[in-house]
Amino acid sequence: MKDLKFIAQQLRKPAGDFAATIAGKMNEGNKPLYDLTLSSMNLNDGDTILEIGFGNGFHFKELLSLRDKLTLYGIDYSKEMVNQATAGNMTFINSGRLFLSEGSSNRLPYEDHTFDVVFCNMVIYFWENPEDHLKEIYRVLKSAGRFYTGMRTKKSMMELPFTQYGFNLYTVGEWKSVLAQNGFNVDDSYHKTDPCFEENGKQIQLESVCIAAEKVS
Ligand SMILES: C[S@@+](CC[C@H](N)C(=O)[O-])C[C@H]1O[C@@H](n2cnc3c(N)ncnc32)[C@H](O)[C@@H]1O
């Protein structure tokens, strides 16, 4: 069995031989959160969307089918995730509907006012200085563009022993405050209780949350 620190490092940035395995586990474990985020996002036909930290992009097909003429950009700082997501989504890339880049969300390689919607699932825990990332997200959003944060509640994440290794966990209230301090108008948050699963003989039930925020100007 892999040790907890190693699992935490792989979740932060999948790398090497274990990257495909951890991506498969994330796809399974984070499906309830993607279901919540994709159903909570206010999308319009023709929107240009950015996902930060997309993992292996298993959900791109579903996301691109939610409205007509969506264009999706993705950025992830794991080379392995960019490679896997690229290999699995060539049809969308070749048709000019999906653009993937390797890079970090504190230095986004996009022009100001590019996106109608930016979102990320299970990524904010790894931001040492959230303001550096939120500043960039704010910059690349169009006026009145929406930013959706997908996460699990701090209480439920603390049930997972690997989160003691380098995860910055937030309550919903704490994350809303961080968003507000960085100039966002915080809107609704959407909640869903995930199905139970067993980890090392213990029953665990995570609470998924999607927090909606808007660029003010
Ligand atoms: C825990 S995984 C979540 C993957 C997927 N969003 C999900 O929910 O299943 C975190 C992902 O975000 C990426 N990531 C973490 N910090 C990032 C950053 N600052 N910029 C870009 N990608 C980042 C990691 O490489 C990894 O693919």
- % of the chain exceeding 90 in pLDDT: 96
Give the nearest ligand 1 atom to 81 CA: 27
Using DSSP, how many helices (H) and how many strands (E) does the chain show? Answer: 9, 9
- For ligand 1, atom 14, the nearest C-alpha belongs to 53
With residue 148 as reference, give the H or E element that holds it.
strand 141-152
Q: How does residue 1 score in pLDDT terms, banded at 50, 70 and 90?
A: low
Q: Is the pLDDT of residue 2 over 80?
A: no
Q: Is the pLDDT of residue 162 over 60?
A: yes
Q: Is the pLDDT of residue 208 over 90?
A: yes
Please report the domains of the chain, with CATH numbers, ordered by start residue.
Answer: 4-215 (3.40.50.150)
- Provide the pLDDT for residue 217: 73
- Provide the pLDDT for residue 130: 98
Q: What is the mean pLDDT of residues 27-45?
A: 97
Integer Cα distance of 89 and 84 in angstroms = 9
Ligand 1 environment, Cβ below 6 A: 11, 13-14, 26, 30, 52-55, 75-78, 81, 104-105, 121-123, 126
Please report, for residues 44, 133, 173, the alpha-carbon distance to residue 60 in angstroms, rounded to integers and kept in the order given. 16, 22, 29
Q: What is the DSSP letter of 196?
A: P
- For ligand 1, atom 23, the nearest C-alpha belongs to 53
- What distance in angstroms lies between residue 55's CA and the mean position of ligand 1's atoms? 6
pTM of the model: 0.98
